[in-house]
Amino acid sequence: MPAAAPRPKVMGIVNATPDSFSDGGQFASAAAAAEAGADMAGQGAAIVDVGGESTRPGSETVWEGDEIERIAPVIRQLATGGTAVSVDTRKSAVMDAAIAAGATIVNDVSALTYDERSAAVVAKAGVPVILMHHQGDPATMQDNPRYEDVLVEVYLWLEERIAAAELAGIERSNILIDPGFGFGKSVAHNLELMNGLALFHSLGCPIVLGASRKRTIGALSNEAPADQRLAGSLAFALKAVEQGAQIVRVHDVPETVQALKVWRGLRDQALTPRA
């Protein structure tokens, strides 16, 4: 079995959007979104990831001003309350505003390829950045994703993005990677990535995995809708940490935290020498 991360962390998802695939439109106000994020932190999330633009398959681009208006007050309230916040965005102006509001991590689903200013913003701020693999843009990425070897191609692409980030002045110690489960991948591609996740440790950066409530779970469970994919989400989270993923990005924080506590208890017991 691949070496497991000693203390995998949970990243809770707060989408301050009207159209995210699972929780879009759930929060009537910034205050409600911030309250949900604070609840996640209280339930054991080490980080709360706040986004103002849906990047689900088929989604449309949001104007950066609208995105900032959605997320800045949420981030400010969470950060003021002592919650560690990451911002889920592809746009440099949004990154700037989020960092000014108190975000301490940038989570970019484009791996700093969407906006040519993004790398400079991250480098100047000196904050960690999550570089996520994707194939195509959100509007069309699931139309017909193709790979000769998905593990090798995602690995090499991430290797290139790590190098580009370093060239832009971002410290390697501030780089995390995400193989992009569901972003330009078929069900088969996603399962191959999950089964081979440990490969990405050789890139030398912490691994973030976001499979919570994704379409693959529905495909494997009689087309269960997004709000009925908890069990599958937990299965993927446990599979990820078994292969050493340092962070799992999830919608269902208390359930995932509990599952990881039991997983860790089992692992620690197995490693405890008998008297």
Catalytic residue set: 214, 249
- The DSSP call for residue 203 is G
What lies within 8 Å, CB to CB, of 184 at 6+ separation is 134, 135, 136, 141, 142, 145
Task: Copy the structure tokens of residue 244.
Answer: 């050493």
- CB–CB of 109/86 below 8 Å? no
Burial class (CB in 10 A: 0-12, 13-18, 19+), 163: exposed
- CB–CB of 35/264 below 8 Å? no
Q: Which helix (H) or strand (E) holds 50?
A: strand 47-51
Task: Copy the structure tokens of residue 156.
Answer: 């090499």
